[in-house]
Amino acid sequence: MLSTLLSLACHTRCRRIVMLLTHNTHYPTWSWLGTLPLRCRYIRVFRKIRFMTSKHWTLVGGAVACLASILEIGSASASPWVEPGDAYERFRMQHYADRGLLDATVSSWPLSRSNAKLVKESESDRFLWNEVGGKIGTDVHLTLGGATSPDMIGGFGDSPNEQGEVDFTLDYVGDAFAIALSPSYVPDPSDDETVRFDGSYVAGTLSNWTFGAGYIDRWWGPGWQSSLILSDNARPLPTVWFNRRNTHTARSPWLSWLGPWNFTAFAGQFETERAIPDAKLVGMRLNFRPLTGLEIGLSRLIQWGGEGQPESLSSFWDSFRGNDNFGSNGVDPGNQLAGIDLRYGFAFNDHTVGLYTQVVGEDEAGYLPSRKVYQFGIDWTSQWFGGSQQWYLEGVDTLTEGLFGSERRPNYAYEHFNYRSGMRHLGRNIATTFDADSRAITLGTYHFSNADRLWRFALTYAKLNRDWGSRFLKGGGDDVDYFVPLGSKEVLVADLRHERPLPIGDLMIGLSIASDAIEVAGDSVDEVMGAIEWRVPL
């Protein structure tokens, strides 16, 4: 019945799109996907979308409906890792780790799905592996989304919203190789990039290591509302990386004391439209679980190079050693962040509880971070109303030494006198959603009725940009909107999000209500923001 109604809704132009998609055209680039000769042809969808004008957007819904009515509905995402923002799978993995049943780390995302094999009890092993474990094969889907205005305050998985976006994604995952092509079109972007490739990557495994290149989100640390060093608050940088695939305890007596451990390193490049164009970013993180329930993370970011800056190996070595206040030629070779985070989780009856903190410093003193910003939190789980809940209460202070220090340093965190655009990418802080000189506390919860139905509610009270100033410099013209508060702002924000399956595809709707509008550099964030996203398998 539903297919009949959808077919009636499709008009002549929709049928022309379907004819185009099913036309027998050879794509030699994708010949290795021999099992999917038909689905590969849908790459043409993006070619059409890219050149659509505003008057054509009304046709998108009908076209997608027609496609969904004639195509086989695809499987769930075939990505080889649990991505930042997949709250349900993070909840499941963390729950098992807190109960001492999972021999894996759970504070660096993305996290390889193969870690779901490391559960210590056979019944739980089958259950978690069926839910989270890796899937061999392909996933092809189209995503339509939009928001009434850009958002300022987000959390785990709340990628920046645009007022309109169309995304086509093709994933393939094999035994030792994975690739994703994810072009998208944004007609009115906040960062002047109408065509994007966020989520695209190529990756392979060698022994127990994964090597890759592409645009993938990251989240380092135990927080649910913020990470103080690296999160998905900004769009992903293009990077090359490697990381440990299975984070189980090493057999070597030299490393076994670490317990389960993971190491990640990447190198990437910021955008051109900034104070120092094409600056580089190098990141590394080691996290390990020496005791049941206790996870420790050590993270470091180095902003280095770029137009007019030294990019020699010696200048990078100076930055790596921390000898980067001024180099031998009087030029500051880099800007750094370093931090430590700890989380202790334990079982409480049928539930779990976790206590966590993250401390990040802008400078170094005695080989330890100094000029620090702080995060503290507690999270816990429950089983009510026929489902499971993940709760968290989290506070952050991003005014340097503003919490415990005797000497506050405003306009210091995430800023730099030389790299004047700071630790921001395309207008957004690569770490905390609140940016610098802010203090915030968030009470939030996720309600999972099953793997594909989710409710999220978060209430945040924040004092943004408490000193009224900022020393950041946009650079590269006014095409990029910087989400840095102009002046001090005290605001209360309520955020509600719901995800559920539809007869065709999956739907996400969101609503954010703030006590006041937030003025940012180049734009403003409205008091009320609504968002919607429809993902349709092809």
Alpha-carbon span 280 to 380, nearest angstrom: 38
**Is the CB of residue 410 less than 8 Å from the CB of residue 434?**
no
Q: What is the pLDDT of residue 366?
A: 60
Whether pLDDT at 124 is above 70: no
Whether pLDDT at 95 is above 70: yes
pLDDT tens digits, one per residue of 403-433: 776 678 888 889 888 888 889 999 899 999 9
Fill in the amino acid letter for 272.
Answer: T
Whether pLDDT at 336 is above 70: yes
Whether pLDDT at 37 is above 70: no
Q: What is the pLDDT of residue 355?
A: 98
What 117-120 contacts at long range (C-beta under 8 Å, 24+ apart), as own/partner pairs, is: 117/246, 118/246, 118/247, 118/248, 118/260
- Of residues 395 and 12, more confidence is placed in 395
CA 305 to chain centre: 25
User: Picking from 84-93, 321-330, 496-505, which range would have the lowest pLDDT averaged per residue?
Assistant: 321-330
Closest CA to 18 of 51, 49, 37, 44: 44
Whether pLDDT at 145 is above 80: yes
Q: Given pLDDT bands bounded at 50, 70 and 90, which one contains residue 76?
A: very low
Q: Given pLDDT bands bounded at 50, 70 and 90, which one contains residue 324?
A: low
Mean pLDDT of 479-506: 90
**Is the CB of residue 334 less than 8 Å from the CB of residue 282?**
no
DSSP secondary structure letter of residue 17: H
Q: What is the pLDDT of residue 59?
A: 38
Q: What is the pLDDT of residue 131?
A: 59
Whether pLDDT at 164 is above 60: yes
> Could you tell me which residues come within 8 angstroms of residue 53 by beta carbon, excluding any fewer than 6 positions away?
none
pLDDT, averaged across the chain: 80
Q: What is the pLDDT of residue 383?
A: 92
- Characterise 16 by phi-psi region: left (phi > 0), alpha (psi -120 to 50), beta (else): alpha
Fill in the amino acid letter for 517.
Answer: A
Alpha-carbon span 157 to 459, nearest angstrom: 16
Q: What is the pLDDT of residue 260?
A: 94
| pTM to 2 decimal places | 0.82
Mean pLDDT of 119-126: 59
pLDDT tens digits, one per residue of 209-265: 999 999 999 999 999 999 999 999 999 999 999 999 999 888 888 889 999 999 999
Whether pLDDT at 14 is above 70: no
Q: What is the pLDDT of residue 326?
A: 53
**For residue 448, with 0-12 CB atoms within 10 Å meaning exposed, 13-18 middle and 19 or more buried, which class applies?**
buried
Whether pLDDT at 35 is above 70: no
Q: Pick the most confident of 54-68, 159-173, 291-305, 317-331.
A: 291-305
Q: What percent of the chain has pLDDT over 70?
A: 76
DSSP secondary structure letter of residue 433: T
Domains of the chain: 2-70 (no CATH), 81-537 (2.40.160.130)
Q: What is the pLDDT of residue 162?
A: 82
pLDDT tens digits, one per residue of 450-475: 767 999 999 999 999 988 666 666 66
Q: What is the pLDDT of residue 518?
A: 86
Mean pLDDT of 357-365: 84
